Structure 1
Amino acid sequence: MLPEKDRKLMVDIKRNIRQMKIFNCCDIIYWLEEPFSKGQTTLASVPITLSKELGQDLWTNDISFLLTSGTIAVDGDFNYIKNELGMKQVRKDRIIEISKGTPFNFEENCLLYVAENMEYPDYDNPKYIANITDEVERLIRASNGHGLVLFTSYKPLRLVYQNLNERIMEIPLFQMTRGRSDAINAFRASGKGVLFATGSMWEGVNIPGDILSHLIICYVKLPFPIPDPISEYEKTCYSSIDDYLNSVLIPQMLIKLKQGAGRLIRNETDTDIISILDSRAGANGRYHEVVLVALPKCSITSDIQEIKQFLRLMKDKTYFE
């Protein structure tokens, strides 16, 4: 009979062998990541056929489901989300689709500013950071604060915030950092401050009224998802990069854009500005048309003076104090 120590060792070896057999499966994507502190590496995995398995688990029985969200359709088209959730397996006559527009009057109560003077997005380029810093400063001053500046990455957020924190003294600026929400509360209490944020601020945050009247979206190459092992595999499933771009990346980008824009007008009396700072969203940019289609229909300008005029017309005098 083996000593107890050796028996425990054999049990551990057998368990590890069983667990290692999963690597013989060719239908799973594996990757290593460091979700916590340095050195705490985790092995992660996801089935290649995840959407198919979701489809079999969710949609093959006689149960009715209601899926609703303000951002799951792309220009009234639900194909992207249906592919992601494995709904290709469902008979077409079992799916009822309906897409409704916003209940708020964006045409009268919102102005869209699209910058036409931006450098190509590259946050490792000091010229781009200087360009976007100057533009954000002009926009903040045009609306007397009352703003949310949204980024898709912490690095440009930090650089632009640090630059402007030394240049704008009369309007309080707040930086949202990883894992901290106190900046949101400070922004709410400030009256006319500006919050620099990313991550969770793209969705699910409700700040109605004049405190937030200007949404400045500082894309770093538009809000495309950061490449990861899953997206790298997805790319190989398409015949060309353009097919992948049109079927996956652009729908994901437009959904995130709509989520960001949804932070702004939250009730019938809100009057607001949306500013988009990305050269490819400009009049001659590659994504100009799809960006306009994704957002509610409203007046468009590339002149900051029109922002000032719009707010003077829509806001009470106390807004500018």
Structure 2
Amino acid sequence: SAIFDAEPGRIDHLDEELATYLTALRDAAFVIRSAIDTTPSDPQAAAARTEAVTAVTEVGDIAARMLDSFGPAIPDRHDVVWLDQIENNRGGPKRAILRVAPLSVAGLLRTRLFQHCTTVLTSATLTIGGNFEAMAGAWGLNGGDPPPKWHGLDVGSPFDHAKSGILYVAKHLPPPGRDGTGSPAQLDEIEALITAAGGRTLGLFSSMRAARATAEVMSERLSTPVLCQGEDTTAALVQRFADDDQTSLFGTLSLWQGVDVPGPTLSLVLIDRIPFPRPDDPLLTARQRAIAARGGNGFMAVAANHAALLLSQGAGRLLRRVDDRGVVAVLDSRMATARY
């Protein structure tokens, strides 16, 4: 009841009502845990009770962690607490969920992982600006006493990007608005680009609202098919897209990172805007604020790095084989005009 009607978002100050309920929840969980007998003679019952103890312990520990997170001053906190609301799959009211997450995982990775074993971290998108420093800092490799020893190796790419692809930035378009939907000029640009490509387009959007709105307009304007994430399972939509070289597929985050469609079926990757995190993202905004409180540039260290990695992953949907060709079109004029 206490969280159901509350506004979703980051919680910086714990009010008395929520503190009372979290304390009661913590204490009740610990009482239940101690009351469960995990040594009955029946092995099946013992396993079930052990599982129950684990679950109840987790509830109690999380409630305690939330209460403890409000002790230090805001810049010194280690955890972020926020209220989330998610859709009910059965059509009922939204569910309110209280969440907690570490402000930074750097210390945890350093003490729990890197100080104990040799680790190999590998991905196609770990460098920002040609080096590993941003990710190394986020993972705790640049801190500690002594800091872990690490070595970064960029093995390059099998693709000749300059000959295989074109990067097109629509710098004549107005900057994107806050509502996430495309301007009339952007919609005209998308229509012209997809028409020139003859379909064959993967549209990567910053929100499902933008993807659906654009798909609806393009379905009316274009003579080639347009699919949108949510109309079927993502796997089924990607398969339909791969099977028909005139089809376009629009969607959001999971398509930025998980689509592998080699060949001419995917010849144009459309990116509607620089994928900065949402300004109301509780975890990333808290990380930005903590860096700014220590004198750093929170926007560049968090939001810009986040966007750079996602742009790299999105652009990586285009060239999947050495003989692939195509265009990455970014419809955000800030790519050409903004200092960052």
Q: Same fold (TM over 0.5)?
A: yes
- Preserved contact between residue 80 and residue 103 of structure 2 (Cα < 8 Å): yes
The amino acid that maps onto 2:133 is N
* Separation (CA, whole Å) in 2 of partners of 1:39 and 1:173: 30
**1:176 maps onto 2:224 in alignment:** no
* Separation (CA, whole Å) in 2 of partners of 1:166 and 1:83: 47
**1:24 maps onto 2:24 in alignment:** no
Compared CA separation, residues 277 and 93, structure 1 to 2 (3 A): same
Greater shift in the superposed pair: 114-123 or 93-102: 93-102
Q: 1:67 aligns with which of 121, 133, 141?
A: 121
**1:105 maps onto 2:160 in alignment:** yes
Q: Which residue of 2 aligns with 1:15?
A: 28
State the Cα distance separating 1:285 from its structure 2 match.
3.6
* Separation (CA, whole Å) in 2 of partners of 1:56 and 1:200: 31
State the Cα distance separating 1:35 from its structure 2 match.
3.2
Q: 1:265 aligns with which of 291, 309, 319?
A: 319
Aligned Cα RMSD in Å? Answer: 2.6
Q: 1:228 aligns with which of 278, 281, 285?
A: 281
State the Cα distance separating 1:93 from its structure 2 match.
7.5
TM-score by length of 1: 0.77
* Separation (CA, whole Å) in 1 of partners of 2:135 and 2:26: 43
* SS state at 1:266 partner: coil
State the Cα distance separating 1:210 from its structure 2 match.
0.4
Question: Deviation string for 1:62-117 (max 9, x for gaps)?
Answer: x2111111111102222221222222227568211112322111111111111122
Q: Which residue of 2 aligns with 1:277?
A: 331
How many residue pairs get matched? 271
Give the gaps of 5 or more residues in structure 1: 1-10, 288-321
Compared CA separation, residues 90 and 72, structure 1 to 2 (3 A): farther
- Preserved contact between residue 123 and residue 155 of structure 1 (Cα < 8 Å): no
State the Cα distance separating 1:238 from its structure 2 match.
2.4
- Preserved contact between residue 60 and residue 90 of structure 1 (Cα < 8 Å): no
* Separation (CA, whole Å) in 2 of partners of 1:134 and 1:275: 14
Q: Which residue of 1 aligns with 2:303?
A: 249
The amino acid that maps onto 1:57 is R
Q: Which residue of 2 aligns with 1:50?
A: 105
* Separation (CA, whole Å) in 1 of partners of 2:131 and 2:249: 33
- Preserved contact between residue 288 and residue 301 of structure 2 (Cα < 8 Å): no
Give the gaps of 5 or more residues in structure 2: 1-23, 32-59, 70-77
What is the percentage of aligned positions where both structures have the same residue? 26
Compared CA separation, residues 276 and 82, structure 1 to 2 (3 A): same
- Preserved contact between residue 187 and residue 214 of structure 2 (Cα < 8 Å): yes
The amino acid that maps onto 1:238 is I
Question: Deviation string for 1:171-190 (max 9, x for gaps)?
Answer: 11111128722322221122
Compared CA separation, residues 49 and 199, structure 1 to 2 (3 A): closer
Q: 2:86 aligns with which of 31, 35, 45?
A: 35
* SS state at 2:86 partner: coil
Q: Which residue of 1 aligns with 2:14?
A: none
State the Cα distance separating 1:24 from its structure 2 match.
3.4
Compared CA separation, residues 44 and 125, structure 1 to 2 (3 A): closer
